[in-house]
Structure 1
Amino acid sequence: MSVKKSGKLKIKSEKFLLFLLLPVLSFALNISVTVLPQKGVVKAIAGKKANVYIMVPPGSSPATYSIGFKELKNIKKSDIYFTIGVPFDKKYLSKIKEVNPDIKVVYFGKYLNKNSNPHIWLSPAKLQLQAKVVLDELIKADPENKKFYLNNYVKFIDSLASLEKEGFLNIKQKSFITFHPAFYHFAEDFHIKEIALEKEGKEPSFSYLNKILKIAKENSIKTVIISPEFPKKYAEIIAQKIGAKTYVISPLNEDPRITIKKLIKALK
């Protein structure tokens, strides 16, 4: 009888040890990114083989958000940090390196000419280059899963090519108005013009609003895009004055392809 009991105890102990070892055996990269759309790109290629942590949480501004204990804790366990060039990165990069000296810091748009406008994830063409940056780093960190990452990368690139085709076929307008210049790279891709009401990071003056009104009327602009992260009153005033339709589109959705699709639909 005692032999049977010890046998059962041995089996239970082995199962318990196996349970403890599972998290260690199931290898996963830990990656930090600055903003939510970057997470969408990384997850599209890495799938479940990476844990992705966001430094600036949804609903917060990359220009004003202060790094907290949660973010520092995630940085401490991260293998890679993908920066994007927003004020948050410039302010806290030295702190991030101090907390985790071994972290590999990679600029998300390292194959791009650096531009003062950091919203590079809203351009299908530039997204392809960003995806290549992610692919390269994932393969370097985890070469055993190269084929998995490569297959996901090809699917992602194909979806961006479809978006480009859809945009060139369907976008009919030549320009649009928004408050914050978040859609600059999208507009550049499709050879249209983004007119921002925000000037040098400040709310527009009365004289500047009148100037925009004049431009809007001269160019028959019929679309005003409102981002929920920024003031909407000026965009609504302009839209009312010129008889334009307003669309609420956030530049910080997790999947940038969804944002691009919404923009294409708004500019048909």
Structure 2
Amino acid sequence: MVEEKFFADRERLTQALTSECAQLLQSGIKANGQATFLVSGGSTPEPVYRALSKRPLPWQQINVALVDERWVEPGESGSNQTFISNSLLQNDAAQAPFLGMKNAAENPAAGEEACERDYRELPAPYDICILGMGNDGHTASFFPYAEGLDEALDSESEQLCKAITAKQSAVTGAHTERMTLTLSAILQAKEIKLLITGEDKLKVYRQALLGDDEQEMPVRSILKQGLKPVTVYWAP
């Protein structure tokens, strides 16, 4: 249930994914009066967000919400909320309602209940979920062998948000305390888009397809869940 869309360069990937997202969001609004757009941070989707922000969509009817977040205040280094504000929520898209994950709690575990309550208000099923992947095989904040990962990957759980404590690495940096959507929440999306670029990540993706250990490479939980189709976008 994995469809691959590989492009000759990142510009063509950006153009294709931007157009697809715009069409899907418009379809959601036509069908339900509103749409829900789940977004991840990172430099890979940034050109798509910037291009989408200039599309004259009815953004007041598009709910933008984070897939995951470091437990840092908006404006601090590493904040996905700030990244999305600076990339997607600009131009025409500045009008979009936005839901972040960081709240006033001291840590993600303490903030889990409030985050869950907020995400229960999001219209579901979600129209699009944008995911990335790290060189360690993580996606969302599903990090290898992280505390809380088993619960986050339970596809039958009714929980939407899960606190994660990652094992510190070059990928996580200092921010090991995270909040993430669960696998069961992500699987409520009509369209799951996994966006990767570069030869190194292509090798990681290929490796993920070959194995089954989700603790080792949590992106396998998305690629191998067998319940919802996943489209993988790649460019050099």
**TM over 0.5, yes or no?**
no
The structure with the largest alpha-carbon Rg is 1
Q: Larger strand proportion, structure 1 or 2? A: 2
- TM-score if structure 2 supplies the norm length? 0.31
- TM-score if structure 1 supplies the norm length? 0.28
Structure of higher RCO (CA pairs closer than 8 Å, 6+ residues apart)? 2
Q: Larger helix proportion, structure 1 or 2? A: 1
